[in-house]
Amino acid sequence: MFKKAPPKKALPRKTSPGTHHTTIIRIGAAAFVLAMTAAIVPATAQFPQTPDDQNTSAPPLVGTPKTKKAAPAAGGGPTVTGNWSGQLTQVGSDKPYKFELSINAKGAETKYPELDCTGKLTRSGQSKSYVFFVEVITKGSADKGGRCPDGTITVARQGDDLALGWFGSIQGSTVVAYGTLKKSK
């Protein structure tokens, strides 16, 4: 009788040289894109877009009502101009000391009445919520036998008050102070 024909063997697939490498590169690129998307999505959710972040260069959609934008604070950041006073507490110290801060269009100045020190501030930057200054002590400098080192000051509006953080270094030691200031009348 008839014999069954042996099953046909699958022929090897012909591929051009480099096709295997191209496939590996494509898979790697897709994995990279997925990993980056997985990292970016939580970050954008953590910092949602604000009206200030939106692109205003594109024309508005037809039928969009026109609105007036509030004028930004001079130089950006929160409005911190005025005369402020309060107490600063130095980390590691039990006794707070009096502090005065004056900020106007011409510049800014600090006073430490109990320490007999005065400083000049230079605005170095700002963000949406904070204003940053570099402080150079002009009277009572630790470098000249006084009690006050140069440092940096960060301020933020806290309702009607001004939250302040100070950071500096003296004789190789880090010094940090903080306080809440009230607007002087």
In a domain, 46, yes or no: no
Tell me whether residue 52 is in a domain.
no
* Residue 111 reports pLDDT greater than 60: yes
* Sign of the torsion angle spanned by Cα atoms 141, 143, 145, 150: positive
In a domain? residue 35: no
Lowest mean pLDDT among 37-51, 57-71, 170-184: 37-51
Q: For residue 27, what are the contacts with CB-CB under 8 A and spacing of at least 6?
A: none
In a domain, 56, yes or no: no
**How many structural domains are present in the chain?**
1
Q: Which of 115, 129, 137, 121 is nearest to 84 (CA)?
A: 121
- 112 is in which domain, residue-wise? 82-183
Instruction: Tokens for 177, please give them.
Output: 């102070």
- Percent of the chain whose pLDDT exceeds 90: 54
- CATH classification at residue 91: 2.40.160
Say what the pTM is: 0.60
